[in-house]
Amino acid sequence: MREFKNLIYQNEDNIGIITLNRPKVLNATNSELLKELAELLDEISGDDKVRALILTGGEKVFVAGGDIQFMSQAAPLEMEKFIALGHKVYDRIANFNKPVIAAIFGMALGGGCELALACDIRIAADNAKFGQPEINLGIIPGAGGTQRLSRVVGPGWANYLIMTGRIIKADLALKIGLVTEILPAGQLMTRARELALELAAKSPVAMRLAKSCINNGANSSLSSGLLYEQKVWALLFATEDQKEGMNAFLEKRKPEFKGK
């Protein structure tokens, strides 16, 4: 695996850890970072040894937003290509074949909040701040914020955050369901690893299909979602992991899932 200019990658104990690494601009997203992230995700996707992924921006900031210096001089067609790339990469995370945990320190604003929304589970340090302040720049959230935020926190809070552009602290983010846990900054990565290890110990095939059911249901009717769930549930009874999981339960031991 090659070294990346804007990312740091670690792999330990069946866990992958991606750290965004543009500290001089507070991890602001640009095309180069997004392309690197897409390439790295493709590599991790094919690595069966990695069963859970942590995405973080380091201990000072998650992502302060898009690179406004870059965007301020760009033409509309260039911006459409940029945001299409953002959609492609964030969708890749949302539909990734392994669970993705966002470990959020400091600011997660604009594109940073949207990146966190694409992850399956979000946990935050007590110094984290969230917002979609694009309205204050004369634009709107473009990397999924107008769609994913309402699905996570409901339309009322999504309207409030997008239309006011206000930034909220971690305690309010927890209250509205934007994150599921708040920890002291010094404990966040330890907790992220604990949670990732917990997920990594589950059946990879069941985890992947559970995620596909959740995502499918978010974009279909209840009846369609239930039918999809029914078919996936039955399909899992053809897997070795199902047999291992149930046998381990009956034998009162921990299962050893192989993803088959």
* pLDDT, tens digit (0-9, with 9 covering 90-100), for 57-106: 999 999 998 778 878 888 999 999 999 999 999 999 999 999 999 999 99
Q: Do domains 7-200 and 204-250 have the same CATH topology?
A: no
Cα–Cα distance for residue pair 144/115, rounded to 1 Å: 8
What integer best gives the mean pLDDT of the chain? 95
pLDDT tens digits, one per residue of 217-247: 888 899 999 999 999 999 999 999 999 999 9
- Percent of the chain residues topping a pLDDT of 90: 90
Query: Mind spelling out the 3-state secondary structure of 79-119?
Result: HHHHHHHHHHHHHHHHCCCCCEEEEECCEEECHHHHHHHHC
The answer regarding whether domain 7-200 maps to CATH 1.20.1440.230 reads: no
Q: What is the tally of helices (H) and strands (E) in the chain?
A: 11, 9
Record the tokens describing residue 128, joined without a space.
């984290």
Buried b / exposed e along 166-197 (16+ C-beta atoms within 10 A): ebbebeebbebebbeebbeeeebbebbbebbe
Give the model's pLDDT for residue 219.
84
Helix (H) / strand (E) element for 141: namely none
Average pLDDT estimate for 6-14: 94
Integer angstrom CA distances of residue 39 from 5, 190, 248, 257, 260: 12, 27, 37, 28, 26
256 is catalytic: no
pLDDT tens digits, one per residue of 18-28: 999 999 999 99
Query: Taking the C-alpha atoms of 82, 111, 34 and 187 in order, what is their torsion angle to the nearest 10 degrees?
Result: 180
pLDDT confidence band for 56 (50 / 70 / 90)? very high
Cα–Cα distance for residue pair 12/75, rounded to 1 Å: 42
pLDDT confidence band for 260 (50 / 70 / 90)? confident
Give the model's pLDDT for residue 171.
97
43 is catalytic: no
Q: Residue 69, CB half-sphere, CA atoms under 13 Å: how many?
A: 5
pLDDT confidence band for 3 (50 / 70 / 90)? confident
pLDDT confidence band for 6 (50 / 70 / 90)? very high
Residue in 134, 194, 198, 251 annotated catalytic: 134
Segments making up each domain of the chain, as ranges: 7-200, 204-250
pTM beyond 0.85: yes
Residue in 12, 78, 114, 198 annotated catalytic: 114
Strands 129-131 and 52-56: unpaired
Strands 107-109 and 52-56: unpaired
Strands 129-131 and 167-169: antiparallel
Give the model's pLDDT for residue 28.
92
The answer regarding whether domain 204-250 maps to CATH 1.10.12.10 reads: yes
